Amino acid sequence: MTRIGCHGFVFSGRFDERGIANAIEGVQRAGFDFIEMPLMDPFSFDERAAARILADHDIEMTGSLGLSAATDLSSENAAVVRRGEELLTRAIDVVAAVGGTDLCGVIYSALQKYFAPATAQGRRNSAEALSRLGDYARSAGVQLSLEIVNRYETNVCNTAREGLAFLDEVGNDNVHLHLDTYHMNIEESGMFEPVLDGGDRLRYVHIGESHRGYLGSGSVDFDSLFRALHRIGYDGPIVFESFSSAVVDEQLTRSLGIWRNLWTDSDDLAAHANRFIRDGIRAVETIELH
Ligand code: MN
């Protein structure tokens, strides 16, 4: 059964105990099954408080992050790669500590604009580190998924097919594909082919509008996405992701270029997204009857 979740940044820009509680309460109010917790700084994350608040609200948690230049697994600098591996090891521990099963995001390179292609050595460093991390995650009961993002946010892979080729280089079946409609809308031929190409290697899906605002108010072809997910029998997590300068983390605001306000009411935005996603999935389920 597909679980529907919501990214923590819809409700909070800070993730101290108060921020964690605000985010989890908001996600529950909107009707979601779980929260995707941003773990940009997993060393400062209070997993005990999070586990308690999650249990109190009967909400599950996944984790996600984008690496920085200082922790870039695709760097040619061994010390930088090692710091990235340490950060991701800690993020896996956080997810496992709250009973979560998934860590995803841009965990194979820095989440930033690059001004040159990834180097062969950099790709190899990232693939080898992810293979080790995939084993570590498996022993913790966590699956890793690599989020494919657009050309302005990574230089390692920008399409599902490039992501699958990179996963072949990683060569660890506990490391999967993560697609995001916001990025697909920029780089892919459409919503259908990437999902079909991903098949059973597709483990995680982000739902975002073309401008990262209200679902249905932009140009993403959600009808095709839901049909494609149904066609491959997708039953993994689906997460609503939206960013506004109304609720921000300064670091992410800069790396993602969130310069304007597309919404101000987190509760209204999230409740709408929860209905939109569940309605989309329900509609394509009935195709079985045709
Ligand atoms: Mn995303």
Ligand 1: centre distance to CA 290 (Å): 33
Q: Which residue's entry shows tokens 């935005």? A: 269
What angle (nearest 5°) sits at the alpha carbon of residue 113, between those of residues 257 and 68?
90
The residues annotated with a catalytic role in the active site are 147, 241
CATH superfamily of 67-289: Divalent-metal-dependent TIM barrel enzymes (3.20.20.150)
Spell out where 220-265 has E strands.
Answer: 238-240
Collect all residues with Cβ–Cβ distance below 8 Å to 8 and sequence separation of at least 6: 15, 23, 27, 35, 36, 37, 38
Give the distance (Å) from ligand 1 centre to CA of residue 289: 33
Q: CA nearest 137: which of 99, 89, 81? A: 89
> Separation of 86 CA from ligand 1 center, angstroms?
22
- Distance (Å) from CA 166 to ligand 1 centroid: 18
Helix axes 120-139, 78-97, angle to 10 degrees: 30
3 state DSSP class of 144: strand
pLDDT tens over the chain, length 290 residues: 789 999 999 999 899 999 999 999 999 999 999 999 999 999 999 999 999 999 999 999 999 999 999 999 999 999 999 999 999 999 999 999 999 999 999 999 999 999 999 999 999 999 999 999 999 999 999 999 999 999 999 999 999 999 999 999 999 999 999 999 999 999 999 999 999 999 999 999 999 999 999 999 999 999 999 999 999 999 999 999 998 887 877 777 777 788 888 898 999 999 999 999 999 999 999 998 88
pTM above 0.75, yes or no: yes
Which amino acid belongs to residue 149?
Answer: V
CB-hemisphere CA count at 13 Å for 283? 13
CA dihedral 130, 87, 209, 251 (to 10 degrees): -140
d(CA 108, CA 255): 16
Is the distance from CB of 216 to CB of 276 less than 8 angstroms? yes
Ligand 1 mean position to 40 CA, how many Å?
14
β-pairing, 60-67 vs 143-147, is unpaired
